[in-house]
Amino acid sequence: MKKKNPAILLLCLSAFIMMLFTACSAQTISTKKLRDIDFTVVDEDDIPEALEEMIDEKEDKPFKLTYADNGDLYIAVGYGEQPATGYSIQVKELYESENAIYIHTNLIGPAKDEKIIERETKAYIVIKTEFIDKNVVFQ
């Protein structure tokens, strides 16, 4: 009869206990919309200075930022450098779920009949809404 290795038994027992506790702590994350959130698009001159500095550091590449100030929540989404003028950003959805705030944006290229200038531009949008103490999920 072979002797059982105590290290292997201990390893198996540890793995079983970890699986047991991991299964018990699983959470359901609900993305179901509770309500739409009202927002305003922030004019470049009205962006808080600290947020503007963060955007300046990142605007060459795509970025996603949040910033809270005086009871307001600012959400910034950037699409990086674009080859010409005429790009805009659409906020398709901004809503609150039980666990988070969800934002979905789209980059829209210049219209076919729009006069564009071929030079690099940086496409980003900053929106302002009420402060809600939840994580922001970018879609």
- Domain membership of residue 94 (yes or no) is yes
Is 3 a residue whose pLDDT tops 60?
no
Is 76 a residue whose pLDDT tops 70?
yes
- Domain membership of residue 97 (yes or no) is yes
- Domain membership of residue 17 (yes or no) is no
- Domain membership of residue 24 (yes or no) is no
- Domain membership of residue 93 (yes or no) is yes
- Domain membership of residue 99 (yes or no) is yes
Summarize pLDDT for 50-71 with one digit per residue, the tens.
999 999 999 999 999 999 999 9
- Domain membership of residue 6 (yes or no) is no
- Domain membership of residue 50 (yes or no) is yes
**Whole-prediction pTM:** 0.77
Q: How many separate domains does the chain show? A: 1
Nearest C-alpha neighbor of 73 from the set 124, 36, 39, 31: 39
CA 44 – CA 19 distance, rounded (Å): 51
Is 100 a residue whose pLDDT tops 90?
yes
User: Could you list the residue range(s) of the whole structural domain that residue 57 is in?
Assistant: 29-138
- Taking CA atoms, 94 is separated from 110, 112, 126, 129, in Å, by 24, 28, 13, 10
